[in-house]
Amino acid sequence: MLEKFKRAPITSSRRIPDQSGKMNEDEMETFRLWRVRKTAMQMCHDRGYLVTQEELDQTLEEFKQQFGDRPSENQPSRADLTFLVAHNDIVGEQLFVFFTDEKKIGIKTIKSYCMKLQGEGMTRAIVIGQEGMTPLAKQALMDMAPKYILEFFLEAELMINVTEHELVPEHVVLSNEEKIELLQRYKINESKLPRIQVSDPVARYYGLKRGQVVKIIRSSETAGRYVSYRVAV
């Protein structure tokens, strides 16, 4: 079973720094890359992939020691931040997380990522970019599916972890077996469940696919906690 690591408490090093001119461009960019990679690590862990406690808790100083603190000199380049994780429960399932140095991702980059997946015998990846993709790259992404599934996130979307916001309740993605058991228990069809769009920020964080069911746990002043379910559409 997946071990649930505890997240490190928020310290001064995790707060977004004052951008009033006290920090130079390299310092701000290093902070940005650290935050984005840290959120990506948390996202992989919450999807069931193996991520160490040290990786989840990596401080800004530890990031600088590992990758450097002069992005303007490609220390680090964004490509240096790319990593690979293996799933905790599904044998053989791995996920690449690609960081790209391109401001706007083009079709050549998407094709190179698919070639990389093919060479490694893999099918899934997350691509993290700075300013989006060209129309041709977006089309290539769709054309590659379902053989290769590449999810795209902007760096700005990963500057914070959406699931850590105080207004976002706990989400737990059900396995297919748990989904079947739920539907049988309440004698309902999945079409009767409330819906969550796959484009919802939390659904994207967990990589929800259409038909998957997520359990949502909210605090309740009267009942202690309130549990509901939604199906991804």
**CATH number assigned to the domain comprising residue 206:** 3.90.940.20
pLDDT band with cut points at 50, 70 and 90 for residue 13: very low
Q: Does one domain contain both 74 and 37?
A: yes
Q: Does one domain contain both 132 and 228?
A: no
Q: What tokens appear for 85 in the block? A: 């994780």
Length of the chain, in residues: 233
Q: Does one domain contain both 125 and 41?
A: yes
Give the three-class secondary structure for 6: coil
DSSP string, 49-110: B---HHHHT--HHHHHHHH-SBGGGTBT-GGGG-EEEEBSSSTT-EEEEEE---SSB-HHHH
φ, ψ for residue 149, nearest 5 deg: -105, 110
Residue that is last in its domain, among 103, 137, 160 = 160
**CATH number assigned to the domain comprising residue 42:** 3.40.1340.10
pLDDT value at residue 36: 99
Domain contains 139: yes
Residue that is last in its domain, among 123, 138, 160 = 160
- Between 17 and 117, name the one with better pLDDT: 117
Domain contains 7: no
Give the three-class secondary structure for 76: coil
pLDDT value at residue 223: 72
Reported as a single tens digit per residue, the pLDDT across 89-115 is: 999 999 999 999 999 999 999 999 999
Domain contains 8: no
Domain contains 10: no
φ, ψ for residue 215, nearest 5 deg: -90, 130
Q: Minimal CA–CA distance to 3: which of 38, 59, 49?
A: 49
Reported as a single tens digit per residue, the pLDDT across 112-150 is: 999 999 999 999 999 999 999 999 999 999 998 889 999
Q: Does one domain contain both 169 and 152?
A: no
pLDDT value at residue 4: 52
* Domain encompassing residue 220: 165-232
Supply the pTM of this predicted model. Answer: 0.86
On the question of pLDDT at 6 being above 60, the answer is: no
**Do the Cβ atoms of 33 and 83 come closer than 8 Å?**
no
> How many other CB atoms are there within 10 angstroms of residue 116's CB atom?
14
Q: Does one domain contain both 148 and 48?
A: yes
Three-state SS for 156-176 is HHHCCCHHHCCCCCEEEECCH
C-alpha to C-alpha distance for 126 and 141, rounded to whole angstroms: 12
Q: Does one domain contain both 153 and 169?
A: no
Domains of the chain: total = 2
Which amino acid type is present at position 100?
T
Q: Which residues contact 221 (CB under 8 A, 6 or more apart)?
A: none
Q: Does one domain contain both 29 and 88?
A: yes
Q: Does one domain contain both 44 and 143?
A: yes
- Between 37 and 8, name the one with better pLDDT: 37
